């Protein structure tokens, strides 16, 4: 069963097939250079198996879109070099990052998971916004 994505105070979450994926993006000011059109974000992901069986994360797919509509697609085995196995009620967390050429954009994607019987299924990663915080406010 798939639920709608939720957003609460900078945290995005979505549950698919009893797997909840939560994403918390963070703008990395110290690694960004707006004059060079380089804006960098980290995103912390929590994957929580709320089901009754063990699952293994086999692969990932990301669709990254900047403010100009340019799309980058990223796919590959596992996440951060791992293919974690999650038993019932277990959690796996990792942090990764992405650069953009614009001050805003968004990411979305999915994981391919494998159950104990070898069947694969897709788990949605909620779409989340990448926005450079407004650092300068001018008062007139």
Question: Which tens digit of pLDDT belongs to each residue from 51-62?
Answer: 999 999 999 999
Distance, CA of 79 to CA of 23 (rounded, Å): 14
| Prediction pTM value | 0.88
- Residue 4 has which token pair? 């709608």
CA distance 107 to 71: 10
Position 85 pLDDT exceeds 80: yes
Domain over 6-131 is classified CATH 2.60.40.1470: yes
Percent of the chain with pLDDT over 90: 84
What are the structure tokens assigned to 89, written together?
């009620």
With beta carbons less than 8 A apart as the criterion, state whether 110 and 76 touch: no
Taking residue 120's Cβ as centre, other Cβ atoms within 10 Å add up to 12
Distances (CA, A) of 39 to 12, 90, 131, 137: 20, 33, 9, 19
- Three-state secondary-structure class, residue 35: helix
pLDDT at 10: 80
């Amino acid at each position: 069963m798939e639920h709608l994505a939720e957003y609460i105070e900078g945290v995005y979450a979505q549950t698919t097939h009893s797997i909840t994926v939560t994403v918390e993006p963070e703008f990395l000011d110290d690694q960004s250079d707006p004059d060079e059109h380089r804006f960098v974000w980290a995103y912390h992901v929590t994957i929580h198996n709320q089901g009754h069986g063990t699952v293994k994360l086999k692969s990932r797919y990301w669709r990254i879109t900047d403010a100009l509509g340019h799309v980058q697609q990223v796919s590959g085995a596992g996440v951060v070099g791992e293919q974690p196995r999650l038993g019932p009620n277990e959690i796996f967390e990792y942090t990764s990052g992405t650069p953009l050429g614009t001050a805003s954009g968004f990411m979305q994607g999915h994981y391919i998971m494998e159950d104990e019987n070898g069947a694969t299924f897709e788990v949605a990663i909620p779409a989340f916004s990448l926005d450079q915080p407004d650092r300068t406010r001018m008062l007139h």
